[in-house]
């Protein structure tokens, strides 16, 4: 089978033999293979331009790796392109040869623009429609060492359709340990700065030799954020000390937050202790709004009550049993919540033993759970997923920011879900309307889960949530991995 795909294999004159398997597998797949051997510091742009000039293929791909294409690559890619005629860019899962020759799959998410600015997760085999490749100017010689990442960033903006094939069609003998060098790091920074400037602005805090980059979106203006916290407002014995969680949470917000245009809307039970109220007024001052709650416990209804009494353009749903760890937490959440089409944003939550409690919602095989659950705080996650800002299917209401107008539009949290899955339901409503949800590792908090309420799951809550959204409870698009810990 002959495919209208030109694969340019970029190698060096001294490493030409190492590309033999790649060349053979690409040829067997039915691709038009063009081998270019660089000498010295020849720019990739020059040799690729020469190799592609005489090609009339509909798609082009440039590969520098010493891996190879799987035996089914040609048939799978050919079938995919036939069923996706509008695809401008196509990338695939990859694999490494593990123990006893088993292929360990490197699964990837679907096209995630915010994640792409943090890491070139597309990998080694990326197909570009030739007309798109020419439209964006092909490979740019001004970013030596980062040419292919830069191409992906530029092409992703112009592409009408970026598609992902969830099959490991490119294989390596081992995971590459080679990092980016000095020139490549400088080029990567330049490419990312250019990309951010073209997509709404942002800043490059750091570029990583391991391919993980700290890029941040910037807050637009200075909108008021209403931090809505439901609480009983009482002291109790915690780890041998007399403490009140909401007082501790308020103190950490006031002491650490660098973004200052916020109010704290506390929905306090009628049993709240006067000592607690006095402390909160002293800590928070003019930023405090207290709303009384006289009904039985219902987290959803309390949050809704607080939002309706808030004044902010954005609302941040926050549990009372948290401790802020990162001063720029509000900026990180707000910048993502302000993205065009954004619905919500959430952060990284840790248990007090420094294991991860939440790195986004994962909906897999009919169950809902937290991404990263129980993983060590230092764990980078699959494909470094715990280290990068990225698109997700949902976030926990223990820390979730969204435009107040959207919260009201979707009906807020469901009163039929008083304790559990109300955030799952909220996220489902938000994405059902076509909005995106983002997660950031730069808003870090401790979450002392279930210290202030009964966390047991009731059958009626499962019935309500799954009755509404059971057909969407397998969503591996942004997180194609099983749960760390099966739901109880």
Q: Tell me, what's the pLDDT at 234?
A: 95
Query: Count of CB atoms within 10 A of residue 473's CB?
Result: 17
Judge whether 61 and 5 are in contact, CB under 8 Å: yes
Q: Between residues 172 and 392, which one has the greater pLDDT?
A: 392
Judge whether 87 and 128 are in contact, CB under 8 Å: no
Task: Give residue 353's Cα distance to chain centre.
Answer: 24
Mean pLDDT value of segment 379-393: 98
Helix (H) or strand (E) holding 126: strand 126-129
- Per-residue pLDDT tens digits for 177-213: 567 888 999 999 999 999 999 999 999 999 999 999 9
- Per-residue pLDDT tens digits for 237-251: 888 899 999 999 999
Q: Tell me, what's the pLDDT at 453?
A: 42
Helical axes 147-158 vs 44-53, angle rounded to 10°: 60
The span from the CA of 392 to the CA of 364, in Å, is 13
Q: Tell me, what's the pLDDT at 452?
A: 40
* Average pLDDT over all residues of the chain: 94
Q: Tell me, what's the pLDDT at 486?
A: 60
Phi/psi of residue 242, each to 5°? -85, 110
- Per-residue pLDDT tens digits for 396-431: 999 999 999 999 999 999 999 999 999 999 999 999
- Picking from 419, 412, 465, the residue whose alpha carbon sits closest to that of residue 297 is 419
Mean pLDDT value of segment 272-289: 97
Helix (H) or strand (E) holding 172: strand 162-172
Domains for the chain: give ranges and CATH numbers. 5-210 (3.90.550.10), 225-472 (3.90.550.10)
Confidence band, pLDDT 50/70/90 cuts, at residue 163: very high
- Per-residue pLDDT tens digits for 94-122: 999 987 888 899 999 999 999 999 999 99
Q: Tell me, what's the pLDDT at 74?
A: 97
Confidence band, pLDDT 50/70/90 cuts, at residue 309: very high
Query: Count of CB atoms within 10 A of residue 43's CB?
Result: 16
Q: Between residues 11 and 58, which one has the greater pLDDT?
A: 58
Phi/psi of residue 275, each to 5°? -60, -40
């Amino acid at each position: 089978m002959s495919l209208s795909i030109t694969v340019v294999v970029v190698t060096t004159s001294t490493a030409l033999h190492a590309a033999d398997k790649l060349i053979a597998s690409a040829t067997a797949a039915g691709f038009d293979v063009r081998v270019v051997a660089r000498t010295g510091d020849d720019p990739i742009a020059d040799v690729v331009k020469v190799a592609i000039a005489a090609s009339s293929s509909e798609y082009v791909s440039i590969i520098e790796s010493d891996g190879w294409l799987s035996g089914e690559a040609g048939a799978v890619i050919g079938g995919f392109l036939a069923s996706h005629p509008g695809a401008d860019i196509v990338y695939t899962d990859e694999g490494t040869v593990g123990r006893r020759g088993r292929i360990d799959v490197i699964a990837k998410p679907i096209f995630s623009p915010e994640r792409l600015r943090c890491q070139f997760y597309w990998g080694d085999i990326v197909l570009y429609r030739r007309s798109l490749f020419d439209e964006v100017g092909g490979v740019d010689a001004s970013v030596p060492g980062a040419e292919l990442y830069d191409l992906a960033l530029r092409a992703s903006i112009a592409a009408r359709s970026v598609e992902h094939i969830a099959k490991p069609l490119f294989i390596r003998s081992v995971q590459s340990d080679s990092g980016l060098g000095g020139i490549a790091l400088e080029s990567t920074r330049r490419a990312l700065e250019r990309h951010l400037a073209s997509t709404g602005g942002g800043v490059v805090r750091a570029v990583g030799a391991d391919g993980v980059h700290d890029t941040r979106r910037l807050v637009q203006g200075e909108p008021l954020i209403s931090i809505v916290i439901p609480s009983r407002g009482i002291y109790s014995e915690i780890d041998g000390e007399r403490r009140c969680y909401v007082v501790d949470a308020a103190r950490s917000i006031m002491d650490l937050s660098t973004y200052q245009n916020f109010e704290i809307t506390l929905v306090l039970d009628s049993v709240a202790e006067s000592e607690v109220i006095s402390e909160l007024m002293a800590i928070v001052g003019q930023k405090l709004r207290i709303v009384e709650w006289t009904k039985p416990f219902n987290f959803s209804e309390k949050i809704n009550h607080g939002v309706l009494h808030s004044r902010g353009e954005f609302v941040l749903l926050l549990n009372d049993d948290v401790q802020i760890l990162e001063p720029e937490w509000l900026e990180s959440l707000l910048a993502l919540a302000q993205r065009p089409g954004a619905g919500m944003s959430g952060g990284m939550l840790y248990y007090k033993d420094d294991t991860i409690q939440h790195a986004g919602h994962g909906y897999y095989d009919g169950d809902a759970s937290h991404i990263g659950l129980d993983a060590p705080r230092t764990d980078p996650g699959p494909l470094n997923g715990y280290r990068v800002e990225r698109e997700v299917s949902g976030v926990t209401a223990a820390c979730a920011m969204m435009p107040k107008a959207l919260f009201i539009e979707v009906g807020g949290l469901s009163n039929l879900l008083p304790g559990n899955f109300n955030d799952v339901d909220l996220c489902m409503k938000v994405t059902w309307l076509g909005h995106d949800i983002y997660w950031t590792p730069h808003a870090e908090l401790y979450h002392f889960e279930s210290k202030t309420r009964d966390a047991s799951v009731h059958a009626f809550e499962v019935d309500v949530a799954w009755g509404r959204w059971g057909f969407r409870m397998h969503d591996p698009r942004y997180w194609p991995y099983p749960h760390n810990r099966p739901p109880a």
